[in-house]
Structure 1
Amino acid sequence: MAGVLLQIGLLIWVYATLWFIISLVARRNDVADIAWGLGYVVVCAYLFQTQVKASVPLLVYTLVGIWALRLSTHIFLRNRGKGEDFRYRQWREEWGETFYWRSYLQVYLLQGFLLWVVALPIVVGGISAAQEWTICTYLGILLWGIGFFFQAVGDYQLTQFVKTRKHKEEVLQTGLWKYSRHPNYFGEIAMWWGIFVIVLPIPSAWLGMIGPLTITLLLVFVSGVPMLEKRYVGNAEYAEYQKRTSVLVPWWPKAG
């Protein structure tokens, strides 16, 4: 496995460097968000070409590919015709003269490293040559399906809301967003744990657990929920929304 991980690491380094060059040409760093999902397609394609084409890894590649292509397409369509995302624009202003090398290290290479870590359950499945489906396979598919529903539907509802909202401070509080302030992040976390459950019967599955654990910690404590919650500080409508609505795991809103 060590050799495969090293090869994938080198592949991701080339991939991240290519997207850094694209960002310089496009003059916007938020292309990194599009690159995130597509990077997993690259990993799956590499494993498909170099490893045994067994039933369980083919299932993993398919599920990851569906998630990745939908997410990258969604982000591309969301950003098309708009300025650079506020997070990257803020970094551009803060970093000043160090912008280029910090972008390469702190955006593209760091994202590439995280991609490599989160992709560990894909690698575990890819090198296993596992053919037999177990109860874990079906439970993992179910968990992945629940996650995909929450992310895809949540993203769609948010996209439609942004088109029709009356002002920028208005808060989406209907649909899935009535039950979770971040249903799309809940969906992504659920999908990755679903992939892990699928590869759970494989002897080296413990290594794959690092992937969903990492994405969970990132979205809950670092780059997902905290950044968006901070953006709404001072918004009275959002403060009331916070009191009623679960931050991540969907649940019935509190009365009043």
Structure 2
Amino acid sequence: MPDERKSDAAPIIEGLPKGRYIRGAIVASVALGLGYLATFIGADGSNPDSLFGKQAPANTLYMTVLVAFLVNWIAFIPANYLQTEKFFDLTGSITYVSCTIFSLVLGAAPVFDGDGWTFSKRSIIQSAFTIVWAVRLGTFLFARIKKDSKDKRFDEIKINPPRFFAVWTIQGTWVTLTALSVFVVNSYGKSYDEKDLGVTDYVGYAIWLVGFAIEVVSDKQKGWFAANPANKGKWIDEGLWFYSRHPNYFGEITLWLGQFIAASATFTNAQWGCAISPVFVYCLLMFLSGVPMLESRGLEKWGDDPQYLLYLKNTSVLVILPKGKATNVETPLVLSGDDKV
């Protein structure tokens, strides 16, 4: 069975309300509103003045978020014309990379104060982390869609332009909320440049590295398991998957927590609202798009298998823990699509 790992924004489409124009417009409007609200928090409550006015860092942040939506809206045009979802996951990764580079360069540009280009160390480090993560995941997901040729979740969505447009808009919001801490650090790079890297930064970097390693290893182990014909029709319970039913999601949540912690070394006032980033990733994967969807599919396939039920009882749903330390013994969540062959 093919690998069913999806991008983090894409699964939201399964919960979109049905309808043609009005509901699609409402969903898109809410997504835009959330993006603006998150940016207002990250800008410490500052609204942009002129393009290069006294609120230049805030302007950079607002323009970065605008880029996040523009990239997805532009990609929507050919996708809607061709009625294809093949570019969706790849566009998500391109959005991360584009916005990260845009905010990094514009935040360090001499046009704001004439002092010359000034890149802060933390901006460069956190941008590099984001780009590495986005490129790896983007190529991973694009290879999957090329192999599988389609994503069945889009079958009803892509033939309805308003709902399809809403999905691309949601992806812009997803990028904004997830990488908000990084965009803030980049946008305010000059003012942060005088603050040396400290314990908080290094703790955040260490957490990111651990999370990234867990995500990469989990995906590799799942790929190796799926490639073995002897494992056809089985759930994966080897490697990190022996200790967690969704170690790849645990890795992703962990790495974004690390980004927030590292960035928090420079936060003031409302910027602490950037804590929405790791909280958003956790809530989305645990309660909306990731774990619930995959667990229910697993129950449908292996719910009558005593060995599978034992695996559920003894294996943590998310955090990598020793056997028997599962946090959901009484109400087991079930493995599925993302975690099976």
Q: How does the TM-score come out when normalised to structure 1?
A: 0.89
Percent identity of equivalent pairs? 29
* Shift, 1:27, TM fit: 4.2
Q: Is the CA contact (8 Å cut-off) linking 2:85 and 2:158 kept in structure 1?
A: no
- Picking from 142, 148, 162, the partner of 1:101 is 162
CA shift digits 1:62-116 (9 cap, x unpaired): 111111111111112222232313xxx14424x585x2221111x2111111211
- Structure 1 residues 165 and 242: alpha-carbon distance in aligned structure 2, compared to 1, 3 A threshold: farther
* Shift, 1:151, TM fit: 0.4
Q: Is the CA contact (8 Å cut-off) linking 1:124 and 1:207 kept in structure 2?
A: no
Structure 1's unaligned 5+ residue stretches are none
Match of 1:74 in 2: 140
Moved more, 110-119 or 171-180: 110-119
Q: Is the CA contact (8 Å cut-off) linking 2:243 and 2:315 kept in structure 1?
A: yes
Moved more, 110-119 or 234-243: 234-243
2:88 is aligned with 1:32: yes
CA RMSD of aligned residues (A): 2.1
Match of 1:200 in 2: 264
* Shift, 1:208, TM fit: 2.0
Q: Is the CA contact (8 Å cut-off) linking 1:180 and 1:251 kept in structure 2?
A: yes
Match of 1:45 in 2: 101
More helix per residue: 1 or 2? 1
Match of 2:201 in 1: 137
* Shift, 1:15, TM fit: 0.5
- Structure 1 residues 114 and 203: alpha-carbon distance in aligned structure 2, compared to 1, 3 A threshold: same
Q: Is the CA contact (8 Å cut-off) linking 1:121 and 1:196 kept in structure 2?
A: yes
- 1:160-239 → structure 2 map (5 Å cutoff): 160-166=224-230, 168-204=232-268, 205-234=271-300, 235=302, 236=305, 238-239=308-309
* Shift, 1:54, TM fit: 0.9
Separation of aligned partners in 1, 2:121 and 2:231: 49
- The amino acid across from 2:171 in the alignment is Q
* Shift, 1:24, TM fit: 3.6
Separation of aligned partners in 2, 1:166 and 1:239: 21
Separation of aligned partners in 1, 2:258 and 2:272: 14
Structure 2's unaligned 5+ residue stretches are 1-42, 44-57, 109-118, 326-341
Match of 1:20 in 2: 76
Match of 1:92 in 2: 155
Match of 1:118 in 2: 178
| Helix, strand or coil at the partner of 2:322 | coil
- Structure 1 residues 96 and 7: alpha-carbon distance in aligned structure 2, compared to 1, 3 A threshold: closer
CA shift digits 1:110-149 (9 cap, x unpaired): 1111211222101221133223100011101110011011
Match of 1:245 in 2: 315
Match of 1:147 in 2: 211
Match of 2:59 in 1: 3
Compare CA radii of gyration and give the structure with the larger one. 2
| Helix, strand or coil at the partner of 1:233 | helix
Separation of aligned partners in 2, 1:70 and 1:90: 23
Q: Is the CA contact (8 Å cut-off) linking 2:80 and 2:164 kept in structure 1?
A: no
The count of corresponding residues between Structure 1 and Structure 2 is 249
Moved more, 161-170 or 224-233: 161-170
Q: Is the CA contact (8 Å cut-off) linking 2:133 and 2:212 kept in structure 1?
A: yes
* Shift, 1:19, TM fit: 2.4
* Shift, 1:174, TM fit: 0.3
Separation of aligned partners in 2, 1:16 and 1:177: 34
Q: Is the CA contact (8 Å cut-off) linking 1:181 and 1:248 kept in structure 2?
A: yes
Q: Is the CA contact (8 Å cut-off) linking 1:147 and 1:190 kept in structure 2?
A: yes
- Structure 1 residues 111 and 128: alpha-carbon distance in aligned structure 2, compared to 1, 3 A threshold: same
Separation of aligned partners in 2, 1:83 and 1:147: 30
- Structure 1 residues 176 and 109: alpha-carbon distance in aligned structure 2, compared to 1, 3 A threshold: same
- Structure 1 residues 187 and 199: alpha-carbon distance in aligned structure 2, compared to 1, 3 A threshold: same
- Structure 1 residues 194 and 232: alpha-carbon distance in aligned structure 2, compared to 1, 3 A threshold: same
